[in-house]
């Protein structure tokens, strides 16, 4: 995948986010997941985030995404959770009520996020270790 060029940075930033339902209840049906996919696409477009993959199971969803350096992941995730929860509750309330009562939360308050690079940390460590030492200022033999 090519690098993203921005006004002040060139980047290749990818993240894997996992959101779990409140109390890990198995509330996500195929219809709900299909609608969530549409909502997720809309939210990501507004934030300038590219969805690489989105899918889920009955009690959690995975978002593999490409994003820009200025994006604050915590704010993005909180917005995703707020918007999806609000819209799904509005559109699927009879279904959701079977799993939740007395709470407005659809998602667990926490989330998982991991950076996804093209190489492993060990590969990067070896690369950095293999770099030449910086030459002394008076040493003209290394140029």
Q: How far apart are CA 106 and CA 91, in angstroms?
A: 13
> What are the helix (H) ranges across the chain?
30-47, 73-97, 121-129
Q: What is the pTM of this model?
A: 0.83
Question: What are the chain's domains?
Answer: 11-129 (3.30.70.1290)
Q: pLDDT for 100-137, tens place per residue?
A: 987 788 999 999 999 988 777 788 778 778 876 556 66
User: How many CA atoms does the CB half-sphere of 77 hold within 13 Å?
Assistant: 22
Place of tokens 């350096």: 69
Q: pLDDT for 2-51, tens place per residue?
A: 888 888 899 999 999 999 999 999 999 999 999 999 999 999 999 999 99
């Amino acid at each position: 995948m090519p690098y993203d060029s921005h006004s002040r940075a060139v980047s290749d930033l990818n993240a894997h986010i996992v959101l779990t339902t409140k109390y890990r209840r198995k509330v996500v049906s195929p219809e709900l997941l299909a609608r969530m996919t549409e909502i997720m696409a809309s939210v990501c477009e507004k934030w300038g985030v590219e969805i690489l993959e989105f899918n889920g199971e009955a009690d959690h969803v995975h978002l593999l995404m490409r994003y820009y350096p200025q994006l604050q992941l915590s704010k993005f995730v909180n917005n995703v959770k707020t918007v999806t929860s609000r819209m799904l509750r509005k559109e699927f309330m009879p279904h959701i009520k079977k799993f939740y009562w007395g709470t407005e939360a659809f998602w667990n308050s926490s989330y998982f996020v991991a950076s996804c690079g093209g190489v492993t940390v060990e590969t990067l460590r070896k690369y950095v270790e293999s770099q030449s030492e910086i030459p002394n200022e008076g040493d003209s033999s290394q140029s």
